[in-house]
Amino acid sequence: MITIGLDAAALSRVRLAVSPALEALSWLRLAAAGGRHPIFGDPGPSARFALRDPEVRMVAAAVPAGLVGYLPDLLTPSPPVGPPERSWRQQLERIAATSAEETARQFARIEGLDPAVHAAVHSGTFARRAAGALSRFWTAAMADSWSGLRARLDTDLTERAQLMATRGIGALLSTVDPRVGWSGSAIDIAKPYEYPTSLNQLVLTPSALSWPLLLLQLSNPDDAVLHYPASGLGVAERADEDSVARLMGVTRALLLRDLDVPRTTTDLSKRNHLSPATVSYHLSVLHGSGLVAKTREKRSVLYWRTEQGETLR
Q: What is the pLDDT of residues 211-229, one digit of tens each?
A: 988 999 988 888 899 999 9
Looking at 147, 165, 182, which one is the last position of a domain?
147
% of the chain with per-residue pLDDT over 70: 93
Looking at 186, 204, 229, which one is the last position of a domain?
229
> Which residue has better confidence, 40 or 59?
59
Residue 91: predicted pLDDT: 97
Residue 313: predicted pLDDT: 56
96 plus 168 within the same structural domain? no
| d(C-alpha 309, C-alpha 291), whole Å | 4
> Which residue has better confidence, 271 or 103?
103
Q: How far is CA 92 from CA 21, 79, 153, in A?
A: 8, 10, 20
> Which residue has better confidence, 47 or 196?
47
156 plus 12 within the same structural domain? yes
- Give the SS3 label for residue 108: coil
- Is residue 236 assigned to a domain? no
Q: What pLDDT digit, counting tens, does each position of 172-221 carry?
A: 998 888 889 898 888 998 877 777 788 889 999 999 999 988 999 988 88
Looking at 170, 205, 229, which one is the last position of a domain?
229
| pLDDT higher than 90, residue 139 | yes
Q: Output the domain CATH number for residue 245.
A: 1.10.10.10
Structural domain containing residue 223: 2-16+151-229
pTM metric for this prediction: 0.74
Of the chain, the end-to-end C-alpha distance in Å amounts to 32
Q: Among 29-43, 49-63, 296-310, whose mean pLDDT is lowest?
A: 296-310
Q: How confident is the model at residue 38 (pLDDT cuts 50, 70, 90)?
A: confident
Average pLDDT over the chain reads: 87
